[in-house]
Amino acid sequence: MKCGEAITRLLRSYGVDTVFGIPGVHTLELYRGLEESGMRHVLVRHEQGAGFMADGYARVSGRPGVCYLITGPGVTNAATAIGQAYSDSIPMLVISSTIAAHSIGKGLGRIHEISDQQAVTAPLTALSATARSADEVPELIAQAFGIFAARRPRPVHISVPTDMLARDIERPWRAAPAPMRPGPDPKQITAAANLLASAERPAIVVGGGAIAAGPAIKRIAEQIGAGVLTTFAAKGAIDERDPASLGATPDLAASQEWLAAADVVLAIGTELAEPDTMRERIAIPGRMIRIDIDPAKIDDQYPAEIGIVADAVPSAVALLDALRSLPARNRQPASLEALASIRARNAAPSDALARQHHRALAAIRRALPSDGVVASDMTQLAYTGNNAFACAQPRTWLHPVGFGTLGYALPAAIGAKLAAPDRASVAIVGDMGFLYCVQELATAVELELPIIVILWNNKGLGAIRRRFDQFGIQSSSADWRNPDFLALARSFGCAATCPRSIAELEEAMARGLQARVPTLIELQQGAGFLSDP
């Protein structure tokens, strides 16, 4: 067996069932035996789309998304998607070719050559490595899955020289056993439980690293009478309809004031980063307990009085058990009243544009099943949706939080649908971001995926236009001429419509969920049915 085929078979033994990419002359050997292995290859139309699809697949499934990329431009085309996954702690394995081993670093002008391809992705990955022998390949792949299993799950990039991919291997490769995720120190758990039990105004902040710990965290909140705030990456970890939930509103003033007033804050699986709070740093003067698998987060700009370096799930379960062993403490009814007041402040649209967003989001929410997945781009409708789109389950709202890239939503929605084919998948895009990855409509049509694309058309960079006005800068660079989006979508083979009422929007959603091709629904900012009655 040749090395390329052995890689595919090894990934299959790790449970990988889908790989995203575009075959090229340098990666032909990776495709040898791929169909026979039972692996599904998704032919994308741009390597950036491959990375975003792998990201969406990973966020919904909880398993690593995998890409096969060619040397040079394949890697650089996907670099933005890799960076997004790194920023949001998404497990992604990128297997790429690189030039022949004897040519690396010599500057001989080989096709697709990068003098140091490993260095290109090093700042965007937990591990970027080049295999120097065939025997190193399974070792590097084992390191990758070890990172996904037991550390902060960020992308891994493994480059394999083209001549090595075609080389015969000497013995079969087998998957390595996964390492255990670190558990909490019982003494620290006891200390954390005592501190939480003594709190008069406890608060809990849940991040994407704790998305699987929602049930235990909910019971912790009930035990100590705390409200729960999530970051955008953790939307739905606690049902946002729960009276104790403040939803994903860390960027809103009322939630930040609530955190500032807390005497003890439990932050679990979150770094409270600037993209979550829209501030370099917010005020949290209370005593902090931090639980995070990344030791660097314990003493960063929000230093912990009690810092527990461990996986969120066993830590939350252990903390709940420790709290239950302490004397019972009655929840104060006033705390629920206070949380309801904060929710009401957060839910109030800030202006006429936000009211348009709320009307559209409410219609989308009514039409979408509770387990439906929404992948959102960097667009004004999604910014409002980060706070206002209610999620009852985790892994149902995907947003490119940290890196904040455009072009994420459509390919991420494709990856999400492939990860969970029985669940609805929706992309929320803006008119600029949609054009970054519009070619992936061809991928969705080819796969007969009934994805719904909600296009918010404000005929420009709406958020940037507002900033120009705010800072008194005269510029036309936030405005442009759009294509006919309905005709464009139909040219790919999609259904397309521009609703004229909320009822038509919900009807278009219902049809789209039953279709065999993607459906584009264009919403034009300022349309009468979205504006104030």
**% helix, strand, coil for the chain, step of 5:** 45, 15, 40
What's residue 340's pLDDT? Answer: 94
Interval 19-27 mean pLDDT: 95
Interval 247-258 mean pLDDT: 96
Cβ-count burial of 186 within 10 angstroms (0-12 exposed, 13-18 middle, 19+ buried)? exposed
- Position 331 pLDDT exceeds 70: no
> Which CATH code for domain 3-165?
3.40.50.970
- Architecture of 349-524 per CATH? 3-Layer(aba) Sandwich (3.40)
Q: Do domains 3-165 and 186-346 have the same CATH topology?
A: yes
- Position 474 pLDDT exceeds 80: no
Closest CA to 80 of 405, 375, 415: 405
Interval 379-389 mean pLDDT: 95
Closest CA to 255 of 276, 236, 233, 271: 276
> What pLDDT band is residue 463 in, cutting at 50, 70 and 90?
confident
Query: End-to-end CA distance of the chain, in Å?
Result: 68
What's residue 104's pLDDT? Answer: 77
Each domain of the chain, given as residue ranges in start order, spans 3-165, 186-346, 349-524
- Position 436 pLDDT exceeds 60: yes
- Give 132-182 pLDDT, tens digit per residue: 999 999 999 999 999 999 999 999 999 999 999 999 998 889 999 999 999
Whole-angstrom distance, CA of residue 162 vs CA of residue 479: 45
> What pLDDT band is residue 508 in, cutting at 50, 70 and 90?
very high
Tell me which residue has tokens 């990758």.
144
Closest CA to 406 of 453, 366, 384, 438: 438
In this structure, which topology does domain 186-346 adopt according to CATH?
Answer: Rossmann fold (3.40.50)
Closest CA to 30 of 159, 154, 156: 159
Whole-angstrom distance, CA of residue 481 vs CA of residue 478: 11
Cβ contacts of 505 within 8 Å, gap of 6 or more:
360, 363, 364, 367, 499, 521, 523, 529
The secondary structure of 444-499 as a DSSP string is HHHTT---EEEEEE-SB-HHHHHHHHHTT----TTB-PPP-HHHHHHHHT-EEE--
- Give 134-147 pLDDT, tens digit per residue: 999 999 999 999 99
> What pLDDT band is residue 112 in, cutting at 50, 70 and 90?
confident
Interval 498-510 mean pLDDT: 96
For the chain, the farthest-separated pair of C-alpha atoms sits apart, in whole angstroms, at 73
Q: In whole angstroms, what separates CA 459 from the centre of its chain?
A: 27
What's residue 39's pLDDT? Answer: 93
> What pLDDT band is residue 127 in, cutting at 50, 70 and 90?
very high
What's residue 46's pLDDT? Answer: 97
Cβ contacts of 70 within 8 Å, gap of 6 or more:
22, 24, 25, 26, 27, 47, 96, 97, 112
Q: What is the mean pLDDT of the chain?
A: 93
What's residue 528's pLDDT? Answer: 85
Asked if 203 and 286 touch (Cβ cutoff 8 Å), the reply is yes
